[in-house]
Amino acid sequence: MSKQPLPIDATELDSSADLETVLNAWHSATLRLEETHQTLREEVRRLTNELEVKNVALARKDRLADMGQVASHVAHEVRNSLVPVTLYLSLLRRRISEDSGSLDMLDKIEAGFTALNMAVNDLLHFTSQRDPAFMCFVLPELVEEVRCLLAPQLAAQGIETSIDVPAGQVICADREMIRRVVLNLVLNALDAMPDGGSLVITSAVGRWGVELEIADSGPGLPEETQQRIFEPFFTTKQGGTGLGLAIVYQIAQAHGGDVTAVNCPEGGAAFTISIPQAAMEAAA
């Protein structure tokens, strides 16, 4: 006698289908939860990195503020002492105008006081912390102004200068601050080429803003120096204050921009300051 197939209960089919649906929904929910968890972990990692960067920047800012207060006080005290000494040197020069030997000694003394006065000026510029006074000016005129100012030193060191800044190019920034940037970067280039070389100043306008580059044909930047070159009071120069490039960095930041230092493929170093278009449009 053949066996008849057992009848299938319809409720069992419905229960099986419902269980499969539940398992599929649970699996989908688990996958979404894992994706959400991964997204949250990445967001936490990003926020943690941002917080570390901001904490480092805040610590640096606090450290600079403390150093700035001390430096400002010292600079003002030294400058107050320099004024009468400079006056006495001028009077002394008149009295010994006929004594060539004494005049040579006086020249050396005045050179020392000039270097000291430059160091004081660097301290005062570094600690001024003022906001940029935006105005629109012709950039190539400013660059030529600095070149003329340093022309005797450029000639004395046998340095050839090439300027490739578009005629009539207008930039909106703090003119005195940008002049200080160009002056400091050119002086830095001169220090890198005591036995002659070439100095190239170029500028370009992009969608982001204006980039001004000052490049030299010196020995370039060692890696350890490149990482610390914009730190205040860091210097590899004998008798240097370590504030020239720190001032450049400070001015770039005040304009909402940045400054970078790289070694050129053909040798030497190039410093580029960038002024964002947004800052210039707001000023205009």
Q: What would the two tokens of residue 70 be?
A: 């001390």
Q: What is the pLDDT of residues 46-74, one digit of tens each?
A: 888 888 888 877 776 666 666 666 666 67
Q: Are residues 146 and 258 in the same domain?
A: yes
Question: Whole-angstrom Cα distance, residue 186 to residue 45?
Answer: 41
Q: Are residues 120 and 147 in the same domain?
A: no
**Distance of CA 231 to CAs 45, 87, 133, 209, 234, Å?**
28, 35, 25, 25, 6
CB contact at 8 A, 89 and 112: no
Question: Whole-angstrom Cα distance, residue 271 to residue 249?
Answer: 11
Q: What is the pLDDT of residues 176-224, one digit of tens each?
A: 999 989 999 998 999 899 999 999 999 998 777 899 999 999 999 888 8
CB contact at 8 A, 216 and 192: yes
Task: Give the DSSP letter of residue 8.
Answer: P
Q: Are residues 124 and 161 in the same domain?
A: no
Q: What is the pLDDT of residues 112-134, one digit of tens each?
A: 777 677 777 777 777 666 788 89
Q: What is the pLDDT of residues 134-159, one digit of tens each?
A: 999 999 999 999 999 889 889 989 99
Q: Are residues 272 and 162 in the same domain?
A: yes
The domain in which residue 254 lies consists of: 135-283
Q: Is the pLDDT of residue 34 over 80?
A: yes
CA-nearest of 180, 56, 57 to 130 is 180
Q: Are residues 98 and 190 in the same domain?
A: no
Residue 5 inside a domain? The answer is no
Number of domains in the chain: 2
Q: Is the pLDDT of residue 247 over 80?
A: yes
Residue 6 inside a domain? The answer is no
**Who's near 106: CB < 8 A, 6+ residues apart?**
89, 92, 93, 96
